[in-house]
């Protein structure tokens, strides 16, 4: 069983058709049981989130909704209020690289957004690892004040902040990490040796990264079967409060 905590729904740029078939092909090929999924494509962020809600309604055994939120927009707080009432969503996602902002600059919107997440038990996933818009410390600024929220740092904070984030994880107990993108072997060993396995979650970042590579790197980490099962699905089951049905890896 594999629960992928970080994937996106792609769309054909010409026809505007969402590539659901390709999504299922990739899941079947790589034995992905369930995906937490979001999309950045649509006439608006609200429309994009609605497409995810429709997908979850159609395939509730395959997908869990993650709503994309851009705190630069005037209606961002209203959008979080809206999706917080929708059972299809268990998570929201900030991508400060995609939307082009420094997280600390938009506290006036992010603070009320996080208050709503705290009140509704929504998990918060944040893009990290690629430049000064995506520093993990920028989100630790919020995680320190919203201790009841679980913050998932995408991509193991890879590329720019992979090593220093290990120390940050020791300081901030409500920070978690998902495993997509990062492939540097020394960094992977440092992270997996230093961070408690219960705080690590498998993610593919499909379709922007190859799912095969996101799985292949675990072959070099010499993890125990118990630890591997925790990362691949048991931690996600507990975090997302979902069924424990399904076969072992």
- pLDDT at site 244: 57
Burial class (CB in 10 A: 0-12, 13-18, 19+), 244: exposed
- 248 domain-assigned: no
pLDDT tens for 10-52 read 999 999 999 999 999 999 999 999 999 999 999 999 999 999 9
CATH code for the domain of 137: 3.20.20.140
Backbone angles phi, psi at 8, to 5 degrees: -125, 155
- 157 domain-assigned: yes
Quote the tokens at residue 193. Answer: 């040796």
Q: At what angle do helices 45-58 and 76-84 cross, to 10 degrees?
A: 10
- pLDDT at site 49: 98
- pLDDT at site 246: 45
The total domain count for the chain is 1
**Collapsing DSSP states into helix, strand and coil, what is residue 154?**
helix
- 194 domain-assigned: yes
- 191 domain-assigned: yes
- 249 domain-assigned: no
- 111 domain-assigned: yes
Give the domain range for residue 104. 3-240
- pLDDT at site 243: 66
- Give the residues of the chain that fall short of pLDDT 70: 243-249
Q: What is the DSSP letter of 230?
A: I
- pLDDT at site 249: 45
- 222 domain-assigned: yes
């Amino acid at each position: 069983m594999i629960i992928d905590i970080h994937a996106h729904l792609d769309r054909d740029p010409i026809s505007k058709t969402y590539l659901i078939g390709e999504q299922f092909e990739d899941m079947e090929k790589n034995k992905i049981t369930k995906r937490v999924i979001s999309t950045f494509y649509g006439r608006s962020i609200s429309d994009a989130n609605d497409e995810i809600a429709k997908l979850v309604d159609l395939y509730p055994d395959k997908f869990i909704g993650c709503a994309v939120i851009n705190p630069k927009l005037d209606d961002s707080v209203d959008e979080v209020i809206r999706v917080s009432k929708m059972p299809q969503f268990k998570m929201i996602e900030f991508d400060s690289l995609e939307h082009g902002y420094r997280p600390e600059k938009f506290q006036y919107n992010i603070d009320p957004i996080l208050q709503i997440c705290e009140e509704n038990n929504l998990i918060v996933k944040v893009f990290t690892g690629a430049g000064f818009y995506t520093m993990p410390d920028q989100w630790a600024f919020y995680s320190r004040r919203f201790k009841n929220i679980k913050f998932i740092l995408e991509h193991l904070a890879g590329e720019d902040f992979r090593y220093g984030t290990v120390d940050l994880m020791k300081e901030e107990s409500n920070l978690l990490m998902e495993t997509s993108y990062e492939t540097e072997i020394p960094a992977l060993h440092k992270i997996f040796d230093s961070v408690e396995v219960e705080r690590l979650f498998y993610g593919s970042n499909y379709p922007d990264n190859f799912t095969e590579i996101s799985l292949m790197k675990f072959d070099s980490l010499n993890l125990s079967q118990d630890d591997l099962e925790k990362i691949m699905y048991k931690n996600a089951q507990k975090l997302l409060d979902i069924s424990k049905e399904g076969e072992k890896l």
